[in-house]
Amino acid sequence: MRIAYMGNGPFAVPALESLHASPHEVVQVVARPDRPRGKSQRIEPGPVALTATTLGLSLAQPDDVNAESFVEELANLAPDLLVVADFGQILRQRCLDAASKGGINIHASLLPSYRGAAPIAWAIYHGESETGVTIIQMSRRLDSGGILAMERTPIASEETAGELEVRLAQMGATLACKVTDALQDGTISATEQNDSQASLAPKLTKDDGKIDWNRTARQLHDQTRALDPWPGCFTHWVRPEGAPVRMKLLSVDVADPSGAPSAVPGTVVEAEGGKLIIATGTGTLSIARLQPAGKKPLDTASFLRGHRVRPGDQFE
């Protein structure tokens, strides 16, 4: 089949590579326009645009994929199928109609759970033990189309969102190729989603990383994994002397998962021997790696050698 592939971020790269290597023909790659990236804020292409260029594929980067002029250009290519992953724009019906078989989306959750922009992070945040990839027919409603295929996988107890994304991207690539083959052969049909079981996974913001010490130790551990690598979790050490110090929590462990609070949540209960343990709403949390504002990342032992943290100090 003639494929028009739409994607932007790293999750979408393996599927593009797999479809390019398959018997199907990728006649067009559509990615978001180049934008400022990193600390230097240099204008650079996204991962899918860079991959398309490397593979020698035709690349379009419209500001608006639903613009009439671009939809006409797309339709003139006569694609059989649109394949979409991690794209960041909602396709209107006239854009979907540019392909004779419409579009399919590779979504990184077990739909209808976690519809939206950040399903991997929110699944970990909420302590899910299982997730997966769902291939759906695209419709005008966000992530609500009929399910064509689904594959499940456990979430490891220490797995971060970044690590899980790599696994799910490979799963999605394999599944997307199978679904594309089946659509060509006419051997697959869609199952309607149960909207009553739907949950949302909205786009992440930096504020999602703020630590609320009234949550349980397990919940804070999951939050730290969920927001790694972006936006990261942060808190403030309220020093007895001097201004509060903002710091990122890079890696944490549950020291005591279920004990009743031994102190007010956010209170340091141990700060010696390379250990920094803080009371939470339920249980205690051990900080393994952190990064004070404007400083390099440190393991806890190194941080404590350079900072006088004492039991009774407060984090908030």
Superfamily of domain 206-315: Formyl transferase, C-terminal domain (3.10.25.10)
At 260 the pLDDT is 75
The model's confidence at residue 36, banded by pLDDT at 50, 70 and 90, is confident
Q: Which of 96, 93, 91 is nearest to 64 (CA)?
A: 91
Alpha-carbon span 21 to 181, nearest angstrom: 13
Strands 25-30 and 2-7: parallel
Regarding the domain delimited by 2-197, which CATH topology (the fold level of the hierarchy) does it fall under?
Answer: Rossmann fold (3.40.50)
Neighbours of 120 (CB within 10 A): 25
Residue 178 has pLDDT above 90, yes or no: yes
The model's confidence at residue 40, banded by pLDDT at 50, 70 and 90, is confident
- C-alpha distance across the termini of the chain, in Å: 56
Q: Is 250 annotated as a binding residue?
A: no
Alpha-carbon span 54 to 49, nearest angstrom: 9
Q: What is the pLDDT of residues 117-150, one digit of tens each?
A: 999 999 999 999 999 999 999 998 999 999 999 9
Mean pLDDT of the residues in the chain: 96
Token reading at 155 = 């979430």
Domain ranges of the chain: 2-197, 206-315
Q: What is the pLDDT of residues 87-119, one digit of tens each?
A: 999 999 999 999 999 999 999 999 999 999 999
Q: Is 111 annotated as a binding residue?
A: yes
Alpha-carbon span 129 to 127, nearest angstrom: 6
Alpha-carbon span 113 to 126, nearest angstrom: 12
Q: Is 110 annotated as a binding residue?
A: yes
The model's confidence at residue 261, banded by pLDDT at 50, 70 and 90, is confident
Question: Rounded to two decimals, what is the model's pTM?
Answer: 0.96
- Per CATH, 2-197 and 206-315 having the same topology is answered no
CA distance to 65, 87, 89, 288, per residue, from 6 (Å): 10, 6, 10, 39
At 41 the pLDDT is 83
Residue 167 has pLDDT above 80, yes or no: yes
Residue 75 has pLDDT above 90, yes or no: yes
